[in-house]
Structure 1
Amino acid sequence: MHLDHDHPPVAPGAPVPTTRRPDGSRRALRIGLGGPVGSGKTATVAALCRTLREELSLAVVTNDIYTREDADFLLREAVLPEERIAAVETGACPHTAIRDDISANLEAVEDLEERVGPLDLVLVESGGDNLTATFSRGLVDHQIFVIDVAGGDDVPRKGGPGVTASDLLVINKTDLAPYVGVDLEGMARDAGRQRGELPTLLVAVRSPDGVRPIAAWVRERLAAWRSA
């Protein structure tokens, strides 16, 4: 079943089209994760699942152009039961399926809610994309954009909608900074200039407790969603 598939892509910060399912119950909070290839999106999704799965009912939708690689990684890592992970093969640039024609992703989200719901949270991971990638607000309620220090400390300064407008910017792999000659303080300053009051987190997701601040941010969004 499809809900609100006629919603056009809208700018970050625009109202969410609907918070209710046809039966009147509140639907799951949807958080999108985007970012360049290799930045650590799938590792972030896996770490969030491990951290939150005991306290929340959650599911994941992954996007790849022609494969199920990210979904298969999550299955191998056993971060969630198989029935809680869905894969979308976009067949085109990843931003198309998260911003321009969201029907395949929206169908995957809705099918998960019908099959294993009720759900508290659905994470929608984009395929690897560039700094212009953003999610339609008809698909997700909040969006996280993940970059990594190996991409260079000039990435926040270059901006782009993913960096400037995402609800949370994650600068990942901070543990690599000494090896790639990156100035973390400079990255943080540049991100602050680009993002204003929007939050930025510098983390090493694969380190012990590296995902903790991201999980705390997700919990805050979920608390606000429930109280709205």
Structure 2
Amino acid sequence: MPGSRRSQRQRAVAELRAQGRYGPTLLEVLPGFVGLGLAIGLPVGFLAWMYGRLGVLGLVLAVALLAGAAVLLVRWRRAFTRQRGGIYTPAELAGLDDHGLAAAAERILRRDGWHVIAMPDEGRPRLYARDRGGRQLDVGFRPATDETADEDAPTGSAPLREAGRPGIDDLIRVVVTRGSYTRTDVLWASRQGGVHLLDGRQLQQWAAGASLDNLGLPG
């Protein structure tokens, strides 16, 4: 004999859930309802409180404050989403410390299809990356304060140099700085196997959407 209507309904619901065709449960949607309630209730409560304290002037002031907060929230959310996708503005790069710059570089590499592993070296940030073609990167970071004076340094940005093929360990070493490199740095890199310098101007281009391939990384 067939079961009761309740048992039949339970079996039907179980089958729908197993197929992924049944809607969310109350516990799954409850956080969303709570968040929606807070998003509506708090501003309304703030408006009522300001109106009760200052009258119409308080209501106008509250609306202006809420509008400003909404604009800031939208801008913050857009910036957060953009950074998560590996896109940074020059001002955002300038505000990062060494570890923040390494985290940004990790996101940028992932944006461009690299598989990245953070491998700190004695407390200094360092990244290992590999792409689908088998290329391997060893990415280090030099603080801008490490720059040394060089009267003979060329003006402008140092190129991302291709100094022959990668080294004997098949690693392409990339050194990143937000500053610039001296002529001595460029000459040193040109004598190494697979060492590439990425200076501040190229870092901004990279963070804005250009790939390392666009900046001269060997294929």
In the superposition, the TM-score normalised over structure 2's length comes to 0.31
Quick check: which has more Rg, 1 or 2?
A: 2
In the superposition, the TM-score normalised over structure 1's length comes to 0.30
| Greater helix share, structure number | 2
| Greater strand share, structure number | 1
